Amino acid sequence: MSAVNDTKFNSAVFLLTGIPGQEDVHLWISIPFSLMYVISIIGNSVILIIIKADPSLHEPMYIFLSMLAVTDLGLSIATIPTTLGIFLLNSREISLNACFAQLFFIHLLKCTESSVLLLMAFDRFIAICNPLRYTSILTLPRICKMGLVFVLRGVSVMLPLPFLLQRFRYCRSNILSHSYCINHDVMKMACSDSKVNSIYGLCVSVFTMWLDSLLIFLSYVMILKTVLSMTSHAQCFRALNTCVSHLCAILFFYTPMIGLSVIHRFGKGSSSLLQIPLGYIHILVPPVMNPIVYSLKSKHLRVRIIRVFGK
């Protein structure tokens, strides 16, 4: 297919990419992707249903976990269908408007997930560093307000992205690097000056992901300082053990995302061997692993899951 020239937006298309050079085995590759998709949908849905149905789980930690499950569900729904479309049906075409809509929701959900991880770090900080005021600080109305503020932050900073991209004419190769649309990838296809988009994208990353990760890091510095001051080793271990699930969620989310961001900004297309797997890992792994890790580490949640499926 020829590259996209000065065609109108409603008729121009991008071509999504599966795994280059492995087109003959795309059908087989679709099996683990389909399995991970099903696990992410079922796992996060089960967590949401159990937390909603059990009043004893209507606590700040589990409310934040339900927020994380919602964002993971949204991320799976926004990305995996186009990925499976490539592997199962070789359906690579995506219109510009559909691509812009997909990248908006992907970046919004990633920003929201980063915010939820920050809220969960705040929850652990209060629980360990100021346990006597835990229930008075993290009230349900305050949790709802914090969640709403972070969702509005995500919408306000991500909404300009598709409109900024619509200003361009796309006269270069229309083959994207991933099986879904993201800002950096689409921006490379433009033949116009994208300096404004690059600066805005960097500012958005600093104001959202990087700021959140810095605040999470500072939260854990304070948590570690408090834990090390405890005289009882058993108490110290119990406090750190409550953070394990959250630390795993942070690693699942930030590690591949930061690696992919660095490659997009500085790799200049020379690191495709890293770019392709990181692109799938940062989309697939958090929605799949988060419900598994939290179900294994949370005794209350694990007991209720066993009770539901053990009937």
Q: Is the pLDDT of residue 6 over 60?
A: no
Q: What is the number of domains present in the chain?
A: 1
Residue 21 clears pLDDT 80, i.e. is over it: no
Amino acid at 221: V
Does the residue 6 lie in any domain? Answer: no
- Check pLDDT > 80 for residue 119: yes
* Res 26: pLDDT: 86
Could you read off the pLDDT of 292-311 as tens digits, one per residue? Answer: 999 888 888 888 888 777 65
pTM for the whole structure? 0.90
Residue 1 lies in a domain: no
Over the stretch 130-187, which tens digit does the pLDDT of each residue have?
988 999 999 999 999 999 999 999 999 999 999 988 888 887 678 888 899 988 888 8
Buried b (16+ CB within 10 A) or exposed e, 71-91: bbbbbbebbbebbbbbbeeee
Cβ pair 147, 202 in contact under 8 A: no
d(CA 177, CA 269): 9
In a domain, 264, yes or no: yes
Q: Look at residue 5 and tell me if it is in a domain.
A: no
Q: Considering the domain boundaries, does residue 7 fall inside one?
A: no
Q: In angstroms, rounded to a whole number, what is the distance separating the alpha carbons of residues 123 and 119?
A: 6
In a domain, 278, yes or no: yes
Nearest alpha-carbon partner for 143 in 71, 60, 55, 52? 60
Residue of 63, 17, 70 whose CA lies nearest to 45: 70
DSSP structure string for the chain: -PPP-S--TTT-EEE----TT-GGGHHHHHHHHHHHHHHHHHHHHHHHHHHHH-GGG-SHHHHHHHHHHHHHHHHHHHHHHHHHHHHHH---EEEHHHHHHHHHHHHHHHHHHHHHHHHHHHHHHHHHH-GGGHHHHS-HHHHHHHHHHHHHHHHHHHTHHHHHHHTS---S--B-SSSS--HHHHHTT-SS--HHHHHHHHHHHIIIIIHHHHHHHHHHHHHHHHHHT-S-HHHHHHHHHTTHHHHHHHHHHHHHHHHHHHIIIIITT--HHHHHHHHHHHHHHHHHHHHHHHHHH-HHHHHHHHHHHT-
Q: What is the mean pLDDT of residues 16-35?
A: 87
pLDDT of 8 strictly over 60? no
User: Mean pLDDT across the chain, nearest whole number?
Assistant: 86
What's the rounded mean pLDDT across residues 72-78? 94
Phi then psi dihedrals of residue 151, to 5 deg: -65, -45
**Residue 63 reports pLDDT greater than 50:** yes
Mean pLDDT of 268-284: 75
With respect to residue 18, please indicate whether it lies within any of the assigned structural domains.
yes
- CA triplet 188, 193, 196: central angle to 5 degrees? 90
The pLDDT of residue 268 is above 70: no
pLDDT bucket at 7, cuts 50 / 70 / 90: very low
How confident is residue 9, by pLDDT bands cut at 50, 70 and 90? very low
Range of the domain at 119: 13-309
**pLDDT score for 172:** 67
- Per-residue pLDDT band for 222 (boundaries 50, 70, 90) equals very high
pLDDT of residue 269: 52
pLDDT at position 235 is 83
Question: Per-residue pLDDT tens for 176-219?
Answer: 888 999 888 888 888 877 788 888 988 998 899 899 999 999 99
Contact 27, 89 (CB under 8 A): no
CATH number at residue 84: 1.20.1070.10
- pLDDT of 107 > 70? The answer is yes
Backbone phi and psi for residue 135, each to the nearest 5 degrees, phi listed first: -70, -30
In a domain, 8, yes or no: no
Residue 96 confidence (pLDDT) above 50: yes
Angle at 49 between CA 303 and CA 102, to 5 degrees: 130
